[in-house]
Amino acid sequence: MRLITTILLFALSLSPLSAEVTPEQSKENRAKICWLFDHFSKNQVDEAKTSNLIQFYQGLDAKGLQGVDAHVQKRIDETRVTDAAKADQMAAIYAEMKAAKASAAAASASAAAASVDPEASKKSRGAICWLFDYWKENPIKEDKTSKLVEHYANLSEKDRNDVNRYVAARIDETRMIDAEKAKKLDGLFENMKASR
């Protein structure tokens, strides 16, 4: 899979980020990834079947990333009980998928950095900070999470660093009140960062 990753990285760096993926595309890619890891958990891991996983993972929106992360980790954990070697193989494949997405996102972010609108960055920073403040005291609603990736993509490097510190602090504060909610906020935060 290392060769596949190398070949795809350049193409993926030119591909749209998850902010531009339609919900239908994300749902389809999520289903394909989950099916393959379900298949691997019950059968031998076939390298030939992994060739499109990086592209499928690239084509996930924030909600799709969160769902896939939970599903794949569950399959890996279940597999580890009966076959640790296979679980390690599945985990390595998944780590490579995530690394390829992060590399492609970083390349796109670097290309886009020069064109960041300071006013849009300021507004997006305010929106993200407000949401994590709001969720500390209120239930997390899916309709309010849909714009996180888009807002995060609008941030300048300075605002992104400030947001990362601010959100991490809010999650830590939430953890003292509600550990389960903090775990969900962690997932949203990680997916938001992974999409950049």
Q: Where are the alpha helices (DSSP H) in the chain?
A: 2-13, 23-42, 53-58, 62-82, 84-113, 118-137, 142-145, 148-153, 157-177, 179-194
The residue extents of the domains of the chain are: 2-112, 118-194
Give the pLDDT confidence score for residue 17 in this predicted structure.
42
What is the residue whose two structure tokens read 């379900």? 38
> pLDDT class for 16, splitting at 50, 70, 90?
very low
Single-letter residue type at 23: P
> pLDDT class for 10, splitting at 50, 70, 90?
very low
CA distance to 65, 90, 151, 187, per residue, from 130 (Å): 23, 38, 12, 17
Contact in structure between 152 and 192 (CB atoms under 8 Å): yes
Give Cα 166 distance to the centre of its chain: 19
As a whole number of angstroms, the distance between CA 46 and CA 55 comes to 17
Give the pLDDT confidence score for residue 11 in this predicted structure.
41
As a whole number of angstroms, the distance between CA 158 and CA 81 comes to 44
Say what the pTM is: 0.51
Contact in structure between 132 and 171 (CB atoms under 8 Å): yes
Share of the chain above pLDDT 90, in %: 42
Give the pLDDT confidence score for residue 110 in this predicted structure.
63
Q: Is the pLDDT of residue 84 over 90?
A: yes
> pLDDT class for 193, splitting at 50, 70, 90?
confident
Between residues 65 and 16, which one has the greater pLDDT? 65
* 96-141 pLDDT per residue, tens: 888 887 777 666 666 555 567 888 889 999 999 999 999 988 888 7
* 43-78 pLDDT per residue, tens: 999 888 888 898 899 898 888 989 999 999 999 999
Q: Average pLDDT of 173-182? A: 91
